[in-house]
Structure 1
């Protein structure tokens, strides 16, 4: 048998088992804390309601309860229990006036009403003919149930359990001390209050679940929009990298080959060309490092040359084959050999591509006109479609593959232009983009 090493630390003893008495004490402390500390701020019950009358409704109900139960309680105490008028008024006020707090502080109202109900039961002992029910009078029972409903709609389950236990203990103690006066209303209030607390608690938890669901849906929608925006910006960054990388590669090749193509260069000129080539290669390395971070694993097929206005005719023809009667209008200078900044050329193509895709998806069969023109300063892209020829679906902010109106706006913003989209009176839709031909650097602040 192997003896334990003298240098091995002795494991700590296991923690003592949690006994029944200590667990009971801990639960009692938790219940006492729940009963003595409200679980919500003193805000009105329907503070988030959209209409003002809905926000005022809890106060109107509380005022109606006090206006109803105060005179009824005074009458019952004086006629059925022979309580003097002044004392009956004081007891009735303590039992009913705190109901004004049920709209925003129901637990604090309970702290006042339950002791007042107990004191009222003690003063109601021994009515003139012994016919009055005891320890809880009829107005006390009904008003107390309204209070329980207000508590159930605001407080936590632990608080409700503590309130119900205290209510039951108070009624049972009164019944045990005066068994000849008690006629079972203490048990009746225990049962009825339990039913009201369960129903109100279920309604509150259902409302909380619905609010959490709405919040989750709102968060999910915001997350989808954010993800669409990030994906589109990533795609734009890759395409801009391809555009810039092409020019930087040309600069590198020209700088490296200049000493061999141009004769009679001085050593200083050769050194300058070498420095230009080295800087261009370093810039390409940094761009490729950025591309490795931005490029997702499923976009390896996007490394080829990017499309531009020269492929708009093919795009429109493909849209016509998809069942959308579309026509393209290009100004003479754009239809010729004029070269545009590649970022503008690519953005214009992508905007037309997404606009036509939206027509196919959301307005099948609609007559569509694509117009691209330039005034020498700005490139204007206009895509207008008529009402759909068949059943249409609403236009969404994001389309398949992460594009959509969000992607259009992001492309236009990064080129320094403007975008205007919206429905037309005849049921169609319009997309108008203005892209400056002197496009801004997307990385500029």
Structure 2
């Protein structure tokens, strides 16, 4: 038989409280509430002292011993005042049960709050006759302390529906503890006072739970943000390394390829000239490997050390031009202004732009004449590299910057210039190709 949906929704909180509800795992205690076990007690199976649990143990023992003493004393007074008449008395085991019912469930609230509430409610209902006879009240002072603490733990660890069911059943249990108010149960002071006390503790526990959940979600969001930032930084670092490697490999491999093709033709069977050409190719190969090691060195080795060799800059421009000339280009270099003391990023970017421009000329216009002008004007560095195409090989592909061809080198140039907030122009000029860049000179670059 299926119950109406409205009735199911109304009874669901009660079902969760009594049968199917589950508490969330305990929230981690702060270090102040869980100090480490002293070293000289290392043989104990506990690594930390949970102060909340220790406080519950001490409070439960105090309430149990005080409650049991009060019940025993009350029964003795009752028996003494009867003057031999008929007296209702209870076996001592019953008194032990009543004292335990109002205190020992406190030991379970930290780990199993719902189980502690169910046990406390059931056991206190069973101990009502004993309390009514001996102390003329349905609940003892120990119960007044223990029960709200358990309801607080339920609200701090369980969902709203479960907490609502626990509160409703707790209020009904408080009213049922005193049958003398049955005619006006809803208006009895005990019921109203108990409902208000339990409502305050439940609201307090709910607020603590909400704050802890919000802090937990915030910590998770921060961790996700940190992971996302780390992943983004990794991708940016990979892109930077790939850009540097492209510039190094493209330039040196172009020179090596041209040299390997030209040396046998220039040697014309002369072993000496052939050996000299091979030595030059070997030197270029070693230079390429050295520069690649320098770039990859930023990844650090297993011991955390990094390659501290300086990155290339405009100070090595003459060496770069000499390599291009050895590959067959006719390079004219003009420098203007004070190029000393440029920021490292600006000097490196200018060097890479010049290197990539020469590499493109070697690949797409071998043997051409290249004009390179680099000058400083105020707070800007101007770079202009232009080559003609008078000696381009018919088999050579179109220039990387011309329509129909997307060159990674030009993309790398744009990334470098954009990173510094500069400007870049590339495109055909007459029969050749030109690259013009303006880099702002900022001290923190």
Q: Given the two structures, how large is their TM-score scaled by the length of structure 1?
A: 0.49
When Rg is computed on C-alpha atoms for both structures, the one with the higher figure is: 2
